[in-house]
Structure 1
Amino acid sequence: MDRRELADFLRSRRERIAPADVGLPAGPRRRTPGLRREEVAQLAFISAEYYARLEQARGPRPSREVLAGLARALRLSDVERAHLHHLAGAPPAPAPGPSREVRQSILDLLDRLPRAAAFVTSATLEVIAWNDLAAALMEDFSALSRRDRNLVRRAFLDPRPGGRRLYGASDPDEFARHAARRLRATAARYPDDPEVAGLVAELLAGSEEFTRLWHSHDVSAVPTLRKTFQHPLVGPITLNCDALDIADRDQQVVIYTAVPGSSSEEALRLLSVIGTQRVDVPG
């Protein structure tokens, strides 16, 4: 526990919050910037004396419950909350399960890529956000249940609509290997999450291919940098594939783009028009 750094950090976070931010009146005699110590203590459900000792670098190591109260009272971001725990000598507990909440800035990014098919996957490869072109290229994810938006399940268990496995992509077997490896790594990061455990059990029970890949214990995945989709309306579309990690959410943004001036770029542009006419998909 770094008492001095913890004290300075708490004070700096307290002084940046205006009383109105937490529903408190400013009052005519307020002489300190931000909140008073006793106000933070009240919001965190701890004693004012104990909080004062923390800011004076004299307090004992706070419990996880106290740290959670302070993080809530001081309106800390995820990064700040983790920093608070490390300063207190109590590293934050791992997340109980994969996050499905997509940051607004990422949702805005998807909308700003009208010439690219882009979507976000969780740590279990569930598609949790997408743009119109991704829906037109692959399928209308808004019409599917959460279960059917999981790409690992689609790779190993689901029937192939129109005889096309994984939307007619040219690398279904390689993607299946990639998905199994990612899911094994995910299961290690979230060993107590029932949803992850249930997905693995379902796949083991329903797919010999997944069982074989699972028992290989491979966790490293080689990304596919280019693939071709056999689309039922516009024919083959060859696209570059890039995956960008969102580390703090354990998510990925997958972006498919065509080479400028190529026939695939024309097909993708046509598909964007056809897709917006066929389906109404939120970004």
Structure 2
Amino acid sequence: MDRRELAGFLRGRRERITPADVGLPAGPRRRTPGLRREEVAQLAFISTEYYTRLEQARGPRPSREVLAGLARALRLSDAERDHLHHLAGAPSGSPAGPSREVPLSILDLLRRLPHTAAIVLSATYEVIAWNGLAAALLEDFSPLPRRERNLLRRAYLAPPSRERPLYDPFDAEAFARAAARRLRAAASRCPDDGEVATLVGDLLSGSAEFARLWAAHDVHPEPTLLKTVNHPLIGPITLNCTFLDIPDQDQQIVLYTVEPGSPAEQALRLLSVIGTQRMDIPG
């Protein structure tokens, strides 16, 4: 790993991209050209501190997932992507396990859906991308470690006293069944992937219900067309739920929409204004 060259390459590519190129507002008092470090970190789904250390030539060797996120955030060409991997001392070949690299076109789509909450799930039900309305509706995934972004772990292994469940009790069971079936299909496609094996092992040992579903060998998820999110500020919101496959990546886009003119539409509009701020904390 060539830390000094990697730092210069990242800094140079960051400075050549404008906020408009990635759908961000320019804002006032932008003293340097290009994106800010925290903006690149946000687009790459890594911490600002970690990215800063990379630009200062004192960070650890980036993982394949981090490099994919940086290449996506910095709009690198294929040649630049290969160069990034070379500087980081990491092979640029395709990973053996489920892909966590979200296509740039899909990320652009998420940003262009201001009135639709949208997330992207990997084959193992890890939330790997989301837009602002999804963060306001479900949860701000950005500060969570990867393990806590996995919806299967949340469904089967999270303690029942969670302060903010992702789904209400009426559809949690249906979601858990569908996710377990999709994971079995993913495990058959990636039999040698360590992360998939660890996830399955943790779920089998930690949840009798998951073990029962796993033993059934079902791989066709049940359709789930409605979700009810019990938001702590707005209350219950029932939404239409649409799954769109990204076949080349073995990923899914989940779109949460509402009927025009419904109370749920008013709730989503309010959430788009509130964002992820906590209004339930006394000042």
TM exceeds 0.5?
yes
Q: TM-score, normalised by structure 2?
A: 0.63
Please report the RMSD computed on the Cα atoms of aligned residues, expressed in angstroms. 2.1
Number of residue-to-residue matches in the alignment: 189
Residue in 2 aligned with 1:175?
Answer: 175
Q: Which blocks of at least 5 consecutive residues in structure 1 are unaligned?
A: 1-74, 77-92
- Return the alpha-carbon distance in structure 1 between the equivalents of residues 198 and 126 of structure 2: 14
Residue in 1 aligned with 2:240?
Answer: 240
Residue in 2 aligned with 1:223?
Answer: 223
Residue in 2 aligned with 1:111?
Answer: 111
Q: TM-score, normalised by structure 1?
A: 0.63
Q: Which amino acid aligns with 1:173?
A: E
- In the TM superposition, 1:71-110 aligns within 5 A as 96-110=96-110
Q: Which amino acid aligns with 1:185?
A: A
Pair 1:214-2:214 in alignment: yes
- Return the alpha-carbon distance in structure 2 between the equivalents of residues 162 and 195 of structure 1: 25
Pair 1:191-2:191 in alignment: yes
- In the TM superposition, 1:38-187 aligns within 5 A as 96-160=96-160, 162=162, 165-168=165-168, 170-187=170-187
SS in 2 for 1:229: strand
Deviation at 1:165, TM superposition (A): 3.8
Deviation at 1:275, TM superposition (A): 1.6
Q: Which blocks of at least 5 consecutive residues in structure 2 are unaligned?
A: 1-77, 80-92
Say if 1:94 and 1:221 are closer, same or farther in 2 by CA, change over 3 A: farther
Say if 1:96 and 1:162 are closer, same or farther in 2 by CA, change over 3 A: closer
Q: Any idea what the Cα deviations from partners look like across 1:202-242, whole Å, max 9, x if unmatched? A: 11111101101100111111221112212111112111100
Preserved CA contact (<8 Å) 1:137 1:271:
yes
Preserved CA contact (<8 Å) 1:119 1:253:
yes
- Return the alpha-carbon distance in structure 1 between the equivalents of residues 206 and 162 of structure 2: 21
- Return the alpha-carbon distance in structure 2 between the equivalents of residues 163 and 246 of structure 1: 32
Say if 1:145 and 1:194 are closer, same or farther in 2 by CA, change over 3 A: same
Say if 1:142 and 1:190 are closer, same or farther in 2 by CA, change over 3 A: same
Preserved CA contact (<8 Å) 1:182 1:220:
yes
Q: Which amino acid aligns with 1:102?
A: V
- Structure number with larger C-alpha Rg: 1
- Return the alpha-carbon distance in structure 2 between the equivalents of residues 261 and 120 of structure 1: 27
Preserved CA contact (<8 Å) 2:164 2:232:
no
Deviation at 1:163, TM superposition (A): 5.6
Say if 1:230 and 1:181 are closer, same or farther in 2 by CA, change over 3 A: same
- Return the alpha-carbon distance in structure 1 between the equivalents of residues 161 and 117 of structure 2: 20
